[in-house]
């Protein structure tokens, strides 16, 4: 997988070959369960299209709360600038992450057979004052990836250029 970065290049530490260039991800993509991956890959695909470095992890606000806490509190130090969280049913992942960080958090409600995703949508969008979560449509992971790129484009002109081209394609231009 190709990763791109607009500010920091470091030697590949896995192979310890100084000639390999890798970077730190700008966007963290989290999902509450491995079964959410078919939906959440839409965020990754969008970010890859816009050449935005990213990483994906599975962690649950209910089953692995310590892992969620560690990720959210350490994300900024790692260079993460936006976090996308997808979860179904009670969908507390985005809210839990948002409670631990000042980074922008985008929630992706994921449909379940019980309520068709309305439970996840309401759990994600109805955050208390002071703990905002930007929320996209049920199953809207691709839009979450685009929104993350748009947030980053304020700081990174190269991402903004790629987004302009994307908008031109959408308009048929």
pLDDT band at 160 (very low <50, low <70, confident <90, very high): very high
Rounded CA-CA distance 30/19 in Å is: 30
More confident residue, 107 or 90: 107
pLDDT in tens, 1-11: 333 333 333 33
More confident residue, 94 or 90: 94
Q: Which domains does the chain have, with CATH numbers?
A: 25-170 (3.40.50.1970)
DSSP codes joined into one string, 58-95: E--TTT-HHHHHHHHHHHHHHT--EEEEEEETT--HHH
Looking at every residue in the chain, the average pLDDT score rounds to 88
> What does pTM read for this prediction?
0.87
Q: In terms of Cα–Cα distance, which of 27, 1, 40, 22 is closest to 155? A: 27
pLDDT on residue 23: 77
Which tens digits make up the pLDDT trace of 59-84? Answer: 999 999 999 999 999 999 999 999 99
Cα separation of 137 and 152, whole Å?
20
Residue 41 has pLDDT above 60, yes or no: yes
How much is the pLDDT for 20?
28
């Amino acid at each position: 997988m190709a990763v791109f970065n607009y500010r920091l290049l470091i030697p590949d530490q896995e192979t310890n070959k100084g000639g390999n260039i890798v970077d730190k991800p700008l966007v963290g993509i989290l999902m509450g369960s491995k079964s959410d991956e078919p939906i959440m890959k839409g965020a990754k695909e969008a970010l890859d299209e816009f050449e935005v470095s990213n990483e994906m992890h599975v962690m649950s606000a209910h089953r692995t709360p310590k892992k969620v806490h560690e990720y959210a509190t350490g994300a900024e130090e790692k260079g993460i600038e936006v976090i996308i969280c997808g979860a179904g049913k009670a969908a507390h992942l985005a809210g839990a992450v948002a409670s631990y960080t000042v980074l922008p958090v985008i929630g992706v409600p994921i449909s379940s057979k019980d309520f068709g995703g309305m439970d996840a949508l309401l759990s994600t969008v109805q955050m208390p004052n002071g703990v905002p979560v930007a929320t996209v449509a049920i199953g809207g992971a691709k839009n979450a990836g685009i929104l993350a790129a748009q947030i980053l484009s304020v700081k990174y002109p190269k991402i903004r250029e790629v987004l302009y081209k994307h908008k031109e394609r959408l308009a048929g231009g």
